[in-house]
Amino acid sequence: MLKITDLRARLDAEDDAAIEILKGVNLDIPAGEVHAIMGPNGCGKSTLSYVAAGHDGYEVTGGSIAFEGEDITEAEPEERAAKGLFLSFQYPVEIPGVPTLTFLKEAANAQRKARGEGPISAPEFMKLARENAAKLGISNDMLKRPVNVGFSGGEKKRMEIFQAMMLAPKLLILDETDSGLDIDALRIVADGVNAMRAPDRSMLVITHYQRLLQYLKPDVVHVMSAGRIVESGGPELAEQLEAEGYDKYATEAA
Partner 1 sequence: MPAVKETIEDVKQLESDKYKYGFTTEIEQEFAPKGLNEDTVRFISAKKNEPEWMLEWRLDAFRRWQQMEEPNWAKVGYPPIDYQDAYYYAAPKNAAKYKSLDEVPKELLETYEKLGIPLREAEVLLGVEGAAETAAAARETPKVAVDAVFDSVSVATTFKKELEKAGVIFMSISEALQEHPELIRKYLGSVVPVSDNFFATLNAAVFSDGSFVYVPKGVRCPMELSTYFRMNAQGTGQFERTLIIADEGAYVSYLEGCTAPMRDENQLHAAVVELVAMDDAEIKYSTVQNWWPGDADGKGGVYNFVTKRADCRGRNSKVSWTQVETGSAITWKYPSCILRGDGSQGEFYSIAVSNGRQQADTGTKMIHLGKNTRSRIIAKGIAAGRSDQTYRGLVSIHAKADGARNFTQCDSLLIGDQCGAHTVPYIEAKNPRATLEHEATTSKLSDDQLFYARQRGLDEEAAVALLVNGFCRDVLQELPMEFAVEAQKLLAVSLEGSVG
- CA geometry: angle at 123 spanning 120 and 129, to 5°? 85
Q: Which of 93, 183, 243, 254 binds partner 1 (CB under 8 A)?
A: 93
Q: Considering only 11-19, 75-83, 180-188, 225-233, which stretch makes contact with partner 1 by CB under 8 A?
A: 75-83
Closer CB to partner 1, 149 or 253, in the complex: 149
Where is 147: in which H helix or E strand?
strand 146-147
As a whole number of Å, the CA-based R_g of the chain is: 18
Shortest Å, Cβ 238 to partner 1: 27
Distance CA 146, CA 171 (A): 26
Under the criterion CB under 8 A, does residue 165 sit at the interface with partner 1? no
Count of Cβ atoms closer than 10 Å to residue 71 Cβ: 12
Site string for partner 1, 21-60 (x = CB under 8 A): --------------------------------xxxxx---
- What whole-number distance in Å separates Cα of residue 149 and Cα of residue 96? 6
Are the CB atoms for 205 and 235 separated by under 8 Å? no
Cα 176–chain centre separation: 8
Strand order in the sheet with 228-233: 85-88, 171-175, 202-207, 34-38, 220-225, 228-233
Site for partner 1 in 172-231 (CB under 8 A): none
Of the residues 7, 36, 81, 212, which one makes contact with partner 1 according to CB under 8 A: 81
* Interatomic CA distance for residues 219 and 33, integer angstroms: 6
User: Interface with partner 1 by CB under 8 A: which range of 25-33, 90-98, 206-214, 241-249?
Assistant: 90-98
Which window, 21-29, 34-42, 104-112, 128-136, contacts partner 1 (CB under 8 A)? 104-112
Is 142 a binder of partner 1 (CB under 8 A)? Answer: no
Position 225: which residue type? S
Of positions 60, 110, 128, 142, contacts partner 1 by CB under 8 A: 110
Under the criterion CB under 8 A, does residue 116 sit at the interface with partner 1? no
Nearest residue (CB) to partner 1, 89 versus 151: 89
Contact 49, 175 (CB under 8 A): yes
**Residues of the shown chain interacting with partner 1 in the complex, contacts defined by CB under 8 A:** 53-57, 76-78, 80-82, 86-87, 89, 92-98, 103-104, 106-108, 110-111, 114, 146, 163, 167
